[in-house]
Structure 1
């Protein structure tokens, strides 16, 4: 008797689950045949591959099944890929020019069907990841108007962050001209310059000569400002690489970022990937580590970090909680320190990432690559400048104590002035610690410049910069001013060729000498 009751009960449960799964959106059918235009067929195939994944997980949600960590990883990747594919749709349509009328008609129908599948995927994956997809929700509407990014927090984000559409040239909405000195900022740039580029040797409108890409880009300026920036195009599989840089085991990376056209509707997938890879090809590679800087403004999306080793898969795969929306609207300075396996990342003066064992295949990592994704074409743009890679970045304190002298080009000043930039305070903190440890030590601070400008102006500037360093040590770290003296040599004692960008960067330095 019990067994006869058990079978119908199982059938009832199966029917309940089946009906819950069937309650989701009616499935969009994949086209049965190809068009014969490579870009169109690839777009359609990739779109439906993503759609199939998301549709399956939507079915799980309707049946009441919760997502595990692997499910979340798959959905996050699917969402990113769907957003990127959607941005490429206009370019795919342009590939129909020259095709016959019947082929154009068939291709247009398939592209529209693929776009509908992508819109469903973006909306559904976003809701699944946010935990807002359930068996009671009506998800049948996949019309044009139902595919916007989730902006439930957009009003709050807008009032918090502003629009961010100003240029680096400096309007009232532009980058902040003030900063709060953080005496705990501990980033120290490497002391052996491997690469530096401010694009000063490149023509406006050209792709910079010290870089390589499989996409496009150009050097630009804004308004009446002379600062030069490299525009990085957003797109699937597009990478930007500094040329002729072989990364050592210990090094630092620095650069300035500028996001244009950001507002409360900027997508959660708008990110800049900073990729450390085992090769100089236009792909991630077999061994790599990466961090993604988020630019989405309608929510705090965090900084994603991943590392990958061939045969092992992801050794690190996580998102660090971080609300950097305000920072991304104000030309953030990114600092990265790699010390063998350890990976640290700062946005402005705040450290967000410090992973001791991120680069488990440290001997394989050779190249730095940048990749932008998720930015709306024609509306949102991403730019970088002052990219600097330097070997070392360990500890200036030991050098100063053991050798009595240390030289650094990591103390940065505003162009043509003695105003210290905030990312320089990690070095000043270390110098102050040496003075604190050895109370009898006195230091001579000597400023040096490159050869731009007149000899007399450079001499005066170098003296002013040394005086600014002294004053920062006194006011920020409480060093007794009687222990510090200053001098400036202008451009008179170069350590490198002033005819190159790298050489000028090496010559702009501050030297600390024990007296």
Structure 2
């Protein structure tokens, strides 16, 4: 069983967690820029037709243009462009956001540079390249993220946030993706760049409203309630109830990839609330035979306990694993909503 759970250790993309009231995912968290602004430029002082100031690298024909009464930067030739801004951002806790107007169907890239012995702009950080192409958005190493409806000739707000070991991209205020972030020791972000070369028409993509900032305060970790876990104080200590859909697909006992997020929060909670015993109990609804439900509930409880022991580094000697099948329902099994609530894992922390 533990070998099965370990298959999911490296998968940390948090796609969605489901609460009793409906689907709640990380995409609902709005973008918040850093509070210490390091660089800002809306190019309002750049005359139309002039080469923009503020970039440390300009490769290709680039000039300031006026579009919808705003000043933008764009390539002025079909050969395309690459722009780079040198700025020391370290290994994390920063944000970069800007507006871009797609005006052709070509490819537009945004990416981060990493310090390299050949120069500040010679190495692009893997998986940092965000690509617009025909109104679709892709992230290198991840794949397709979303399609923007009717994007041409309209400003799109793009934001990057690097915090708490995560790299998150936002499109028009909504989070499009979050992936793990970790640079090699001694490495740091030396700047960022834009590129429009493949199928580049003159003035094919317009860029403006650049803002780069650092976060001066650490980001708090999610609480159990924020990831769909119900916490209740008891006379013995406390109990955490995790709904089935946070952890498992229907009728399965192998943890879903997104379950890692919830169980990491559980492990943090356990460390901050020491217990002399941890009782992990699995429950099912009343569909199926008693023998099947007892076995499934025990397997699910074991999967959760294994993850907390192996990945959460919680002392294995503290655990007791129980499967109770359809016993102790907390909702009416006559409805699908009630059955979904009954399919759960409870984690009791006994002081």
Q: Under a length normalisation based on structure 2, what TM-score does the superposition of the two structures give? A: 0.47
Larger % of helix: which?
A: 1
* Larger Cα-atom Rg: 1
Larger % of strand: which?
A: 2
Q: Under a length normalisation based on structure 1, what TM-score does the superposition of the two structures give? A: 0.33
Q: Higher RCO, 1 or 2 (CA under 8 Å, sep at least 6)?
A: 2
